[in-house]
Amino acid sequence: MPECMKTSHIVSRRTAISFVAALLAAVCALSGCVSRPSLHKQTFTFTAPATDPTNVVAGDRVLAIRRLQIAPPFDGRSLVYRTGEFSYARDPYAEFLDSPAEEMTAPVRTWLRGDGGFSAVVERGSALTPGTLVEINVTRLFGDFRRPEHSAAVIGMQFVFFDAPNGVPGKPLFQKEYSRDMPLSAPTAAALMAGWNQALADILAEAASDLRHSEANDGSNSWPLVEYSHESPGSPANPK
């Protein structure tokens, strides 16, 4: 074959390969596979917020978490996003390591022990007899992604503390509902988890402070009075 024909054949083949590659790139870009990250499952957990040990002098009370439960449909491992006025979606690629109730119990226990004025926070069945019990109901736990540019981490919690002579539930000492709607830096699962952790820290700080004030107003000297300063983003409307 003449040299000129070989050269022409090579050029034509290279041109065809370049055209096919460009065509595939264009199709891929139109379908979103260029900009869309590869999908892989992410796992998250609640973390114990940092506390200042100089703020609170621990008493000799022992607290037991009698129950911490999360209302459906937020009680599954998959993260839940609010996508519309009446619509929610579970993320199959983002989930808690364990059930959200189990994941939340450990940081709640750590916070109440470090910043709640208790000498110990125990589980049911502990050798230590609690003098106070708490029931915690999580009524809302989702990412509000209805407007991605204004996405938020939403938590709603109800605390009921009981006097517990000899570990037996008695009269309620204090009960209150708390809610946080924390703005996110981005509409992502990682940003949502960070927002939840911040919201949980804010709620626990306020609940511990409110309980001590309630005890002090009842004439008890068991609780130090500590003022907490924190920004409250406001109470969002309850989801439909």
pLDDT score recorded for residue 34: 29
pLDDT score recorded for residue 178: 97
Query: What sign for the dihedral angle of Cα 48, 53, 57, 59?
Result: positive
pLDDT in tens, 99-121: 999 999 999 998 888 777 788 88
Q: Could you give the CA distance from residue 16 to residue 77 in angstroms, rounded to a whole number?
A: 50
Regions in the chain scoring below 70 on pLDDT: 1-38, 49-59, 218-240
pLDDT score recorded for residue 19: 34
Helix 100-115 and helix 189-217, axial crossing angle in degrees, nearest 10: 40
Q: Could you give the CA distance from residue 187 to residue 150 in angstroms, rounded to a whole number?
A: 8
pLDDT in tens, 209-225: 888 787 777 644 343 32
pLDDT score recorded for residue 52: 59
pLDDT score recorded for residue 53: 53
Q: Could you give the CA distance from residue 180 to residue 232 in angstroms, rounded to a whole number?
A: 7
Say which CATH topology domain 42-217 has: Rossmann fold (3.40.50)
